[in-house]
Amino acid sequence: MSNGIRLVLLGRQGAGKGTQAVRLADHYDVPHISTGDMLRAAVKDGTEFGLKAKAVMDAGGLVSDEIMVGVVHERLHQADATSRGYILDGFPRTEAQARALAEITADSPLEVVLNLEVPEAVVVERITKRRVCRSCGRIYSVDSPPAKDWICDTDGGDVVQRDDDTEDAVRKRLELYAAETLPLVAFYSEAGQLVDVDGLGSADEVFDRVVEGISARRAG
Ligand code: ADP
């Protein structure tokens, strides 16, 4: 078995973070920790927190740093993550979250921050075509649907468009990405932790590049 990994994925909405995160989690045998998936699970459970988060998410806004830092802190301290590591997807999204993450991981620092690069014009088209399994989160596209009637190939769940993949919410999320999250690329680059990967091409092609980039970083 491989040694696991402690990795953060950066990239704008629609860059393919979720798709690559699932493959990376399988490859390195570590949990895929997606803050978006965790929030959507809370929404589905109908908790008070979930309802509040849903309003923010549907408008394309960001849930507060304080709440997100608490959620991630708790998750990274669970046994699977402390023993083997994790693929962290959707966090950090602001400089405050990045600083908090450095504290959370002080004893066991991040090994790689992977930046998946895809131009804005490309991601807008990808997001509007994106469809997601309501129960397991598997990602499809109108160009590559499940085998049967928008029923998930993995678990038979309904495959639908996300409530926050509307044009308005997407535009707002991309603006927030540019303002709040893009500065983290420079932050991690200065810290010597960044690996840039071209996110254009098929999911398989991108995955090969990603694993190569990670191996080169770990070797060097
Ligand atoms: P995307 O990257 O396509 O916007 P995600 O599934 O990662 O999708 O996140 C969906 C929504 O969940 C975000 O638009 C935001 O409202 C909320 N969210 C997820 N992660 C964070 C975070 N680290 N900080 C604040 N809000 C978050």
What are 56-103's pLDDT values in tens digits? Answer: 999 999 999 999 999 999 999 999 999 999 999 999 999 999 999 999
- Mean pLDDT across 20-30: 96
Query: Which residue's CA is the nearest one to ligand 1's atom 9?
Result: 36
- Mean pLDDT across 96-122: 96
Length of the chain: 220
Q: What is the pLDDT of residue 1?
A: 56
What is the value of pTM for the model shown? 0.91
The percentage of residues in the chain with a pLDDT greater than 90, rounded to a whole number, is 88
The mean predicted confidence, pLDDT, of the chain is 94
Question: What are the structure tokens assigned to 179, written together?
Answer: 């303002």
Question: Where do we find the tokens 């895809």?
Answer: 118
Question: What are the structure tokens assigned to 86, written together?
Answer: 């994790």
Q: What is the pLDDT of residue 143?
A: 94
- Positive/negative CA dihedral, 29, 34, 35, 40: negative
CA–CA separation, 21 and 121 (whole Å)? 22
Q: Catalytic amino acids?
A: 17, 93, 130, 162, 173
- Rounded to the nearest whole angstrom, what is the distance from the C-alpha of residue 36 to the centroid of ligand 1? 5
Q: List ligand 1's pocket residues with C-beta within 6 A.
A: 13, 35-36, 39, 56-57, 61-63, 68, 90-91, 93, 97, 164, 173
pLDDT at 147 over 60: yes
The model's pLDDT over 164-198, given as tens digits with 9 standing for 90+, comes to: 998 888 999 999 999 999 999 999 999 999 999 99
Q: What is the pLDDT of residue 158?
A: 97
- Rounded to the nearest whole angstrom, what is the distance from the C-alpha of residue 57 to the centroid of ligand 1? 7
Which one of 71, 93, 133, 170 would you pick to mutate in the ligand 1 pocket, going by the greatest count of ligand atoms within 8 A of its CB?
A: 93
